[in-house]
Structures are given as structure tokens and as C-alpha cells.
Chains A and B, each alone.
Chain A
Amino acid sequence: MSIPATPSTSDFAGVIALAEQIRNGDRTAVDVVEEHLARIDAGDPELHAFNLVTAESARAAAAIVDDQIAAGNPVGVLAGVPVALKDNLCTHGVETTCSSKILQGWKPPYSATVVDRLAAAGAITIGKTNLDEFAMGSSTENSAFGPTRNPHDPSRVPGGSSGGSAAAVAAGFAPFALGSDTGGSIRQPAALCGVVGVKPTYGTVSRYGLIAFASSLDQIGPFTHSVADAAVVLEAIGGHDPMDSTSLPQPFPPVSSVLDRGVEGLRIGRITDLPTGADDDVNGRLDAAFAAMEAAGATIVDVQVPAFTFGLTAYYIVAPAEASSNLSRFDGVRYGLRVDAPSTGEMMAASRAAGFGDEVKRRIMLGTYALSAGYYDAYYGKAQRIRTLIAQDFAKAYAQVDVLMTPTAPSEAFHFGDKGDNPLSMYLCDLYTIASNLAGHPGISVPYGVGDEGLPIGVQVLAPALGEPVMFQVAAELERLASK
């Protein structure tokens, strides 16, 4: 491994810098792609960030970008910039597996809207990244193809479920990546890998072509080295899509233009009744972030969000319930693995048993139970009402403050196997991220120094629905303060 023990996020060129160099003719897109492929060749055998590296098609696409620039033709804002895509985003004709045996070898007949929009902006897909199977997990240990390792310390997890995307950016395999966030699956691995990760407001980025886990919670978002890079990517992929019936009928909120405004006069909320469970060093970094924000001119306001603490239970009812429904499509009929059996019913049950891993089966079972006759009101119905409570409590808090700041994850990156065989201990990784999914709100994780063991810690900024402009304004200041 040539990656230093604790790479700073500034060790590698970011999206905006690379796009500018390519557009100006300082570097060719082919050169940029080759540089990233070389780093993948050197580092990925150990880290396993990728399920698939699309070297040939990346080289061909880069050559086309170079031809266009040489010919003086206009190119997109991301022209020539490599991107790594979480392997639950459909790519036409390119294997898409969700890191599951049940989809191994499947080549989608269409591409996700975000994939088409990135291509239209000139970005170049360099590969498909590893994840916890069907995005269920917080460490990538649930991948059917083996875990991804944290570039800062390969004996530790990168977080999850979008662990491959986070690791790919942290290791310099791609200047940006896309992931999906159902309960924290972008923000938590971003925190553990020391990069920026954003879950935008529900409905601002099309989910068409994202293989569904929990449809009322899932959102696609970016991993980048900087807040400014994340803004550019979201502006390229966001906005209304007629192919997604849950897509808001408006453009993505403007975020690139607000990054230099500072935090003077802004009110930043500290949640005094936040569930406990974060390590001391994580709380220490959060305290330092509040102090730095106050020094930078923000007002820190104590607020309460009482329902926050019930989020974990509501999430682990709603998400498995929706998953049990969404994953019923994997039945050995239209795509993926089939185990032959004398009847269709036996074929389906045998195919699903052979194709799904342990955690996916566990969540399908939990979700099916929560939706089954006699239990619906006690579990699913109640969880839906808790979502309303959380939204109401957030609304009261946002009447007093512009944004909230919390830890992103309760700890630094942990070692493989640390969470043992008790699924609940793994679920606690999402303690601070799931409430915004339940409410449909945006959240961003910004690296803010390191913890006691020298590994990255993220601070999370939360905002109300469509509050991306103020969220990015605060995140950009947080990033400036972190580098001081």
C-alpha cells in the first residue's frame, strides 16, 4: 500500500480542480483516468473498494472528452472527472450486484438517472463500489464479495453501507463517488473515512435506477474531498426527474453560491437530549466544533428534540418493512439467481435462501413480521406515527435555529468483527443519522479532526427539508475551521 497511514483529504486533487485542469487543457482526461487507475491497481487488491473496475470504458470515454476539448466543443461541468458508483446504482449493460449473490452477473437494461446525468456532465465512471449487501449494514462486512478496508487503517472497517464509495475517495481511487443513504449509509462511512458525505433532502435527487432498499427513506448523494465539490456534484445530479414519482418538481437548491458566506449571525442548535452513546473523543470534537463556530460569529442555541431517541426503533421497523416488500422482486423469475425446484413456490424460496446473505434475510424476516396480520398496528403503524413526532420536534427546533450539529457516528472506525453477532450493536452506528431519513431532511458529514486512536471523526450538520443552502453554508465554514 502506498497510501499514507492517515491521508488528509487534501492529498488528492478534487472534482473542481480536476475539471478545471482538464477544461483548460493543463491535463488530458486520459491522463487523469490513468492516474486513478494506477492508484486502484496498486491499492485496491488490499482495500477492495471496488466490485468492478471499468478501465476500458473509462479510457474510451476519456479519449472522447479529450477529442471534444481539442476540437473546442463545449463540455460538461464534470468533463473528464472520474467517478466511482455504489454497486446498487443501475448501469446499462454493466454488472450491478448490490454485493449480493442473488444479483451476481446481472446487467441492467437501463441506467439510473444519476448515472445518465453524470455522463451528460462529462463525468467518467471508473467502477462500481462495494457495499453491505443491498445497503444493509454499517461496515461493508455484509458484502457477499468480502469487506472493504479502511484506507486509514486496513484492519478497520470503512463504515457502511456505502463503504466502498467512501474508501475509494479517501484512497484517491476516484475524486468523487456516489452512494445511497437510508439511515446514514453515506454520512457514517464518510465520517469513518475522513471525507465529506451528503444525504440531500428526500425527493431532490432521483431514485430511478437505485435498487430500492426502503423507498420512503433512500436518497442518493455524493462523497467528495470538499464541501464545494459536493455542491457541484449535487447540482449536476439533482433536480426533478419524471421517472421518479417521489421526485420534487423543482431544481436542486443552489448550494455552490453560498459557500463563502460564513456563519456570522446564524443560529446553530445543540440538541441537549440527544441519545447518549458517542465516545468521549467524538463528543470532544463536536464540542470543539461548537466553540469554533461561536468564535466565527454563530450563536449556539440549546434545543430539545425529544423524539430523536425513538428514531432507532422507528427506523428498524420502517426500513425492514419496506425492504421486505422491495426485495420480494428477487424471486428467481426475471433476473438473478435461480435454484431449480419442481414448483415455482419452491424455486422462489430456494433461490432466495441461496441468494440472500444472513443480514438481508434477518431484515426481510423482521419486516415481514412487522407487517404481518395482528402486528401491523403495534409495529409499523406506531413507527409511522413516530416519524410524525420526529418531524414535529424538528420543526419546533428549527423555529429557533438555522441548523443542528451532532456527531455523525458514535465512534472512530472500528475493527472487523468488533460488533460480534448482535445485530443491535451494529444498528447503533446509525444512532445520529437516522432521524433525518425518517423526517426526509438533509444532512452532511464534514471531517473534523481525529479521535484518540488517530482516525477521522465527522461532525454532522442537519437542516430542515430543502435547507441545503444554509446547511452547505455552515458545512463550508466547518471545513475551513477544521483545517486551522
Chain B
Amino acid sequence: MSEPGTARLAESDVVHVAKLARLAITADEVERYTTQLGRMLEHFADIDSLDLSSVEPMTHPLPLSNVMREDVVKPCLDREEVLAASPASEDGRFRVPPMAGEA
């Protein structure tokens, strides 16, 4: 894979990322996204020269942490209603195609 902030993206990078993102993409899309994402990464080079080693990362704008609810039983989503909105269900569960043997 190409070095961060230097070269444009390679097509092989795009194919790899699409696999990570579980997106089936066409050869045409590989070509287009390689150009477009590469252009964006070039634009992102404006932050390359910033020395941020002494700056703490902000994960979130609020000082909140470990927000807990009380451990009491409350009404929750209706199981039948949730399952009815799914593409396929069976015996109170979501049904999916076989998973065994997948990489």
C-alpha cells in the first residue's frame, strides 16, 4: 500500500479497502474511487506539516465518560415487530445464508 500523504492511492488499495468495508465494487468503480479518493488524500496533505505531538486527541466534544443506566427492567422493542422488518427470519431469529467455510 502507498505511504500516507505521499502518493495517490493505488487500485490495489481500493480493492483491499472495499473488501474491509464489505462492499462489492465493479472495475469501473475501482478506477473512479482510486482517482477521487487519491485527490482527497492529496488535499489532506495540508495537515502533514503540523506538529501535533504535544496535542491530546479529542475523541468526543463532551467530558462525559462511563454513562451507566440503572440496572432495572424496562420495556424494550417488540421482538415480533423487529423481526417483521427484517429481510428473513425464522423461529424468532434473523435468518442468513450459510456462513461456514467463509474466509
Min CB distance B67 to A, Å, is 4
Question: Knowing A109-B77, A344-B99, A349-B23 touch, does A366 contact B40 (C-beta < 8 A)?
Answer: yes
Closest to B52 in A: A385
Q: In the complex, which residues of chain A have a beta carbon less than 8 angstroms from the beta carbon of B78?
A: 109
Q: How many residues of B contact A (CB 8 A)?
A: 54
Decide yes or no whether B92 CB sits under 8 A from chain A. no
Interface residues of B in 21-59 (CB under 8 A from A): 21-25, 29, 33, 36-37, 39-40, 43-44, 46-47, 50, 52, 55-59
Of the listed residues A313, A362, A365, A423, the one surrounded by the most CB atoms of chain B closer than 10 A to its CB is A365
Contact indicator A313/B47 (Cβ below 8 Å): yes
Min CB distance B89 to A, Å, is 9
Min CB distance A462 to B, Å, is 14
Decide yes or no whether B73 CB sits under 8 A from chain A. no
Question: Knowing A203-B62, A365-B14 touch, does A352 contact B23 (C-beta < 8 A)?
Answer: yes
Q: In the complex, which residues of chain B have a beta carbon less than 8 angstroms from the beta carbon of A353?
A: 23-25
Contact indicator A368/B87 (Cβ below 8 Å): no
Q: Report the bound CA distance from A462 to B44 in whole Å.
A: 25
Contact indicator A349/B62 (Cβ below 8 Å): no
Contact indicator A369/B37 (Cβ below 8 Å): yes
Interface residues of B in 46-87 (CB under 8 A from A): 46-47, 50, 52, 55-62, 64, 67, 69, 77-78, 81-82, 85-87
Decide yes or no whether A74 CB sits under 8 A from chain B. no
Q: In the complex, which residues of chain B have a beta carbon less than 8 angstroms from the beta carbon of A344?
A: 96-99, 102
Min CB distance B35 to A, Å, is 10
Min CB distance B96 to A, Å, is 5
Q: In the complex, which residues of chain A have a beta carbon less than 8 angstroms from the beta carbon of B55?
A: 385, 388-389
Min CB distance A335 to B, Å, is 5
Min CB distance B57 to A, Å, is 4
Q: In the complex, which residues of chain A have a beta carbon less than 8 angstroms from the beta carbon of B25?
A: 353, 361
Contact indicator B23/A365 (Cβ below 8 Å): yes
Closest to B33 in A: A365
Closest to B54 in A: A385
User: Which of A25-33, A156-164, A256-264, A374-382 faces chain B?
Assistant: A374-382
Contact indicator B44/A365 (Cβ below 8 Å): no
Q: Report the bound CA distance from A362 to B56 in whole Å.
A: 29
Decide yes or no whether A131 CB sits under 8 A from chain B. no
Q: Report the bound CA distance from A202 to B61 in whole Å.
A: 7
Contact indicator B52/A386 (Cβ below 8 Å): yes
Q: Which of B20, B82, B85 contacts A368 (CB 8 A)?
A: B20
Interface residues of A in 340-355 (CB under 8 A from B): 340-350, 352-353
Contact indicator B5/A378 (Cβ below 8 Å): yes
Q: Report the bound CA distance from A350 to B24 in whole Å.
A: 6
Decide yes or no whether A104 CB sits under 8 A from chain B. no
Q: In the complex, which residues of chain B have a beta carbon less than 8 angstroms from the beta carbon of A378?
A: 4-5
Q: Report the bound CA distance from A361 to B9 in whole Å.
A: 16
Closest to A245 in B: B67
Contact indicator B24/A374 (Cβ below 8 Å): no
Question: Knowing A378-B4, A385-B52, A386-B50 touch, does A107 contact B62 (C-beta < 8 A)?
Answer: no
Decide yes or no whether A465 CB sits under 8 A from chain B. yes
Contact indicator A333/B61 (Cβ below 8 Å): no
Decide yes or no whether B18 CB sits under 8 A from chain A. yes
User: Which of A41-49, A324-332, A476-484 faces chain B?
Assistant: A324-332
Decide yes or no whether B88 CB sits under 8 A from chain A. yes
Q: In the complex, which residues of chain A have a beta carbon less than 8 angstroms from the beta carbon of B62?
A: 202-203, 246, 248, 440
Q: In the complex, which residues of chain A have a beta carbon less than 8 angstroms from the beta carbon of B37?
A: 362, 365-366, 369
Question: Knowing A361-B25, A372-B17, A378-B5 touch, does A246 contact B60 (C-beta < 8 A)?
Answer: yes
Contact indicator B57/A352 (Cβ below 8 Å): no
Closest to A351 in B: B87
Contact with B along A109-120 (1 / 0, CB 8 A): 110000000000
Q: In the complex, which residues of chain B have a beta carbon less than 8 angstroms from the beta carbon of A216?
A: 59-61
Q: Report the bound CA distance from A109 to B79 in whole Å.
A: 9
Min CB distance A121 to B, Å, is 22
Question: Knowing A362-B33, A389-B52 touch, does A369 contact B46 (C-beta < 8 A)?
Answer: no
Decide yes or no whether A387 CB sits under 8 A from chain B. yes
Q: Which of A242, A333, A385 contacts B94 (CB 8 A)?
A: A333
Can you list 12 residue pairs at the A/B interface with Cβ under 8 Å? Answer: A110-B77, A316-B43, A328-B21, A343-B97, A347-B97, A353-B23, A353-B24, A362-B37, A374-B1, A385-B52, A424-B39, A424-B40
Known A349-B23, A439-B61, A440-B62; further 19 A-B contacts with Cβ < 8 A: A106-B85, A109-B81, A334-B82, A345-B22, A350-B24, A361-B33, A364-B23, A366-B40, A369-B9, A374-B4, A379-B44, A381-B57, A384-B57, A386-B47, A389-B52, A391-B58, A423-B36, A423-B40, A438-B61
The 7 closest A-B pairs by CB, nearest first: A440-B61, A378-B4, A384-B57, A338-B87, A387-B58, A353-B24, A385-B52
Interface residues of B (CB under 8 A from A): 1, 4-5, 9, 13-14, 16-18, 20-25, 29, 33, 36-37, 39-40, 43-44, 46-47, 50, 52, 55-62, 64, 67, 69, 77-78, 81-82, 85-88, 94, 96-99, 101-103
